[in-house]
Amino acid sequence: MIKAIIFDFGQTLVNSADGFRTAEKDAQAKLFSNFGLTIQEDFMANYRRLRKELHEQSNFSRKFLFHEMYYYYCLTPDEKMLELWETEYWETVKAHTLLFPEALGVLKGLNERYPVALISNTQGQKTEGTHRISLYPELETYFKEIIVAGEGGIPPKPDPEPFRVCLEKLQIKASEAVYVGDDYRIDVCGARDAGLLPIWLKHHSVRRNWPQVQTSVPVITSLEQLLDLNSIFAV
């Protein structure tokens, strides 16, 4: 029996795809120019490789990524400049982030039937409490619990700990909770391995190369489908 619905944040309740694309291009241009390089293909290959390695470690600190790039090219970074670049990166993401049109209505509808919670990974900034969810007070009111994994001693998803902490606060078993997220490794596999019932959101409005994997996990393309959970799990 389902007793709670738990959500991821980015690309699940809000669309930040354009923000990340713009922020990434800006960051890459700053690094490439600062390094004084001439062959952009090699630079981009190294940048993408390091970014992927950090993503697989659930490390989303852009300052850390910038550091790794400097070290790879045997250069010494300016710490204050990297902090400024990271701040500018997240400000760009925020400026281009929009709620999915159906998000508020779906959260309102689900709240009439279930406790609703949120588990989102930290953005990797050194200051806690800077997660983008704080920009959406109209969303926050619908969550009984909000867990920002990667802060306060809680490791980031897909570690099972943030899921365990949230379940403990909701006072339910893992098998009684649905988790909705967009990232296959972090959200879907993380929730599944923690014993929750995952739903993989591949929102129809997000331009993205989704992982090509064989999975029995239910897939939805709109949050509105969550209003009929019986149909989702009957497929």
DSSP structure class, residue 58? T
| Helix, strand or coil, per DSSP, at residue 156 | coil
Q: Quick one: the chain helix, strand, coil %, rounded to 5?
A: 50, 15, 35
Confidence band (pLDDT; 50, 70, 90) for 13? Answer: very high
Mark whether 175 and 215 lie in a shared domain: yes
Average pLDDT, the chain: 93
Confidence band (pLDDT; 50, 70, 90) for 203? Answer: very high
DSSP structure class, residue 188? I
Q: Name the domain count of the chain.
A: 2
Mark whether 110 and 226 lie in a shared domain: yes
Comparing 120-124, 175-179, 195-199, which segment has the lowest mean pLDDT?
120-124
CATH number for position 197 = 3.40.50.1000
* Residue located via tokens 């959260």: 107
pLDDT at position 94 = 87
pLDDT at position 130 = 54
Residue 200 and residue 220: Cα distance in Å, rounded?
6
The domain containing residue 50 runs over which residues? Answer: 17-95
- Domain final position from 53, 80, 95: 95
Its pTM stands at: 0.89
| Helix, strand or coil, per DSSP, at residue 200 | strand
| Helix, strand or coil, per DSSP, at residue 14 | strand
Instruction: Tell me the sheet residues that pair with 179.
Output: 6, 198
pLDDT at position 129 = 53
pLDDT in tens, 86-135: 999 989 998 999 999 999 999 999 999 999 999 999 876 555 555 677 77
Number of H helices and number of E strands within the chain? 9, 8
Mark whether 130 and 225 lie in a shared domain: yes
- Domain final position from 95, 127, 155: 95
Q: What is the DSSP code string of 82-93?
A: HHHHHHHHHHHH
Mark whether 131 and 38 lie in a shared domain: no
R_g (Cα) of the chain, nearest Å? 19
**Do the beta carbons of residue 19 and residue 97 sit within 8 Å?**
yes
Residue 44 and residue 23: Cα distance in Å, rounded?
15
